[in-house]
Amino acid sequence: TCPQCHRSASLDPRGLRGFPRNRLLETIVQRYQQGRAAAAAAAKCQLCDRSPPEPAAVLCEQCEVLYCGSCQLRCHPARGPFARHRLVPPPAHPGGGGDGGGKGAGGGRKVPTCAEHELENYSMYCASCRSPVCYQCLEEGKHGKHDVKALGAVWKQHKAQLSQALNGVSDKAKEAKEFLVQLKNLLQQIQENGLDYEACLVAQCDALVDALTRQKAKLLTKVTKEREHKLKIVWDQINHCTLKLRQSTGLMEYCLEVIKENDPSGFLQISDALIKRVQVSQEQWVKGALEPKVSAEFDLTLDSEPLLQSIHQLDFIQMKFPVTVPPVPLLQLEKCCTRNNSVTLAWRMPPLSHNPVEGYILELDDGDGGQFREVYVGKETLCTIDGLHFNSTYNARVKAFNSSGVGPYSKTVILQTSDVAWFTFDPSSAHRDIVLSNDNQTATCNSYDDRVVLGTAAFSKGVHYWELHVDRYDNHPDPAFGIARINVVKDMMLGKDDKAWAMYVDNNRSWFMHCNSHTNRTEGGVSKGATVGVLLDLNKHNLTFYINGQQQGPPAFENVEGVFMPALSLNRNVQVSLLQFGPTHP
């Protein structure tokens, strides 16, 4: 019984060896083993002190030496005379390769023969038995009445079916990869939303605690006032009673002394007035005069039970919010910045925002107080806009949208572009043969053919001037200096297509070139130590060149309009460095 499909199969006297061999799997295993052996015998470092040497990481084309990573840093640093050497990956081992040492189809691989007739090759395919057969199998009659087809035709048919099935699997795999990216983004979003919700929960609970603290202070004030009121009443009663008691006691003592006297005439002389005084003193102690006016108990009862119940019942609720337009996005001012004539803006949605967001619309004015225009529409929350005007103030705003409509605008942020352009050579857009150094301010080339490199700044308005110093000039090459659009062709001399305007120069003279048209031949070339200046006046829409401070003829090109980048083409015989640049020609 098959352990995979659990189908039963009858065995002939040969046992398991009677099953057909999976020759395709054998070939794949053999190819894999040969690939492993070839990888084990890969190129080794030629300068390693270790035993065995480390595998080589790079090959220097000039030194013709293989280096591992540590030996390359120690023996072949990317500076000094080694800076011009070209390092490439080591060559593949001669015995390697994906075909298992050169045994491809039709090569040294053994042609499969019939399992029952070892001298016969497979030539037909029995559709009934689903197995390849040879001519002798058909002659013996075992497959005589079966549906037999040409082996090559069935092979191509099944290959096409497998390829078609693989296309479907490939599409599903692509969808799965996109789904994994979506899930990873969801993980990050859940993490960020969790932090936002935690912060919001802490803020809400802190607000409840603050409100309870304030109410507690108010209630304590009421208790204090009530206590002071009661104390005042009691103290007033004490003082009043003490005064009356002192008066009564003095009257009593006086009366007792009078009663002790034995002089009747003297007694009767004052007795009437004294009796009235005693009666009046007695009348002052009316009913209730000897009872406290206030109670020691406070008639204040705090009903905290409903609040305690509310606190115990405080919990999250699941609400189905109706889908409405998104709220106002929040600009993240700490991430908004400018560099040269480009601006970067970042924003986010407020926490606890329940309305879905399908995308954002970023708008920017013209830098001169004009109308806003759309510069970005998408799902990202970070955007960089290049090619703006120098020394200009731009206003930017953003809004979100979903299926219900467009939300309100954010607050407007004001961004100021640089007064003066600051740029270097751009490694990301340069031809792969261009070699940059000195913080991308020095350029040369690995090829004898002309290759193009652009600057990192783009100009569309104003007057701009920059200079380049010729550090090395061998064998009279023709470097070209000028401006170009971002999509200029980079594997030929600057100015040969319609995307660049340039002056190319040798050691004796210079020419202007655009669309492969050569004009304005002028005496005066370059050599080592020469300085080439480029003046781009986008107010007058012209371009002028200088060599060692001398203008090369009239303005090279008229009616130059659009967005341009500083550009240079050179080969391995030239090395050029940026010297200075500014808003105007000095």
What are the DSSP calls for 107-151, one per residue? TTSPPPB-SS-TTSB--EEETTTTEEE-HHHHHHTTTTTS-EEEH
Q: At residue 337, does pLDDT exceed 60?
A: yes
- Are residues 339 and 410 located together in one domain of the fold? yes
Residue 309: inside a domain: no
Strand partners for 459? 564
Give residue 54's pLDDT.
86
**What CATH number corresponds to the domain at position 545?**
2.60.120.920
Q: At residue 118, does pLDDT exceed 80?
A: no
- Are residues 390 and 476 located together in one domain of the fold? no
Residue 551 CA neighbour count, 13 Å, CB half: 9
pLDDT band, residue 319 (cuts 50/70/90): low
Q: At residue 55, does pLDDT exceed 90?
A: no
Residue 105: inside a domain: no
Q: At residue 3, does pLDDT exceed 80?
A: no
Tokens of 224: 């204090």
- Are residues 479 and 553 located together in one domain of the fold? yes
Q: At residue 100, does pLDDT exceed 60?
A: no
Residue 237: inside a domain: yes
**What CATH number corresponds to the domain at position 57?**
4.10.830
Give residue 257's pLDDT.
87
Which domain, by its residues, includes 454? 434-579
Q: At residue 96, does pLDDT exceed 50?
A: no
Residue 235: inside a domain: yes
Residue 303 CA neighbour count, 13 Å, CB half: 1
User: What is the per-residue burial (b if ≥16 Cβ within 10 Å, else e) of 314-332?
Assistant: eeeeeeeeeeebbbbbbbe
Phi-psi region of 291 (alpha: psi -120 to 50; beta: other; left: phi over 0): beta
Q: What is the pLDDT of residues 229-263, one digit of tens each?
A: 999 999 998 998 898 889 889 988 988 888 888 88
Q: What is the pLDDT of residues 259-292, one digit of tens each?
A: 888 888 888 888 888 888 888 888 877 777 788 8
Give residue 379's pLDDT.
92
* 555 upstream amide cis, omega within 30 of 0: no
Average of per-residue pLDDT across 99-110: 45
- Are residues 438 and 572 located together in one domain of the fold? yes
Average of per-residue pLDDT across 510-521: 90
- Are residues 220 and 339 located together in one domain of the fold? no
Tokens of 577: 């460095």
Taking the C-alpha atoms of residue 199 and residue 208, their distance in angstroms, rounded to an integer, is: 14
- Are residues 166 and 64 located together in one domain of the fold? no
Residue 383: inside a domain: yes
Give residue 320's pLDDT.
55
Taking the C-alpha atoms of residue 123 and residue 259, their distance in angstroms, rounded to an integer, is: 160
Nearest residue to 69 via CA among 50, 83, 94, 41: 50
Q: What is the pLDDT of residues 204-231, one digit of tens each?
A: 899 999 999 999 999 999 999 999 999 9
Nearest residue to 329 via CA among 381, 385, 371: 381
- 428 CB burial (10 A radius; 0-12, 13-18, 19+): exposed
- Are residues 277 and 162 located together in one domain of the fold? yes
Q: What is the pLDDT of residues 385-436, one digit of tens each?
A: 987 888 889 999 999 999 889 999 999 999 998 887 788 999 998 999 999 9
Q: What is the pLDDT of residues 524-567, one digit of tens each?
A: 899 999 999 999 988 888 899 999 999 987 887 777 788 899 99
- Are residues 242 and 340 located together in one domain of the fold? no
Residue 127: inside a domain: no
- Are residues 403 and 441 located together in one domain of the fold? no
| 3-state secondary structure at position 180 | helix
- Are residues 526 and 567 located together in one domain of the fold? yes
Residue 100: inside a domain: no
- Are residues 200 and 245 located together in one domain of the fold? yes
pLDDT band, residue 108 (cuts 50/70/90): very low
User: How high is the mean pLDDT of the chain?
Assistant: 85
Of the three residues 47, 67, 91, the one that is the final residue of a domain is: 91
Q: At residue 97, does pLDDT exceed 70?
A: no
Handedness of CA 212, 217, 218, 222 (dihedral sign): positive
Q: At residue 582, does pLDDT exceed 80?
A: no
Average of per-residue pLDDT across 293-309: 87
Give residue 30's pLDDT.
84
| Number of structural domains found in the chain | 4
- Are residues 462 and 540 located together in one domain of the fold? yes
Selected residue with higher pLDDT from 296 and 22: 296
Residue 311: inside a domain: no
Selected residue with higher pLDDT from 548 and 102: 548
**What CATH number corresponds to the domain at position 340?**
2.60.40.10
Give residue 581's pLDDT.
55
Taking the C-alpha atoms of residue 32 and residue 483, their distance in angstroms, rounded to an integer, is: 52
Q: What is the pLDDT of residues 450-460, one digit of tens each?
A: 999 999 888 88
Percent of the chain at pLDDT exceeding 90: 34
Instruction: Report DSSP state, residue 404.
Output: T
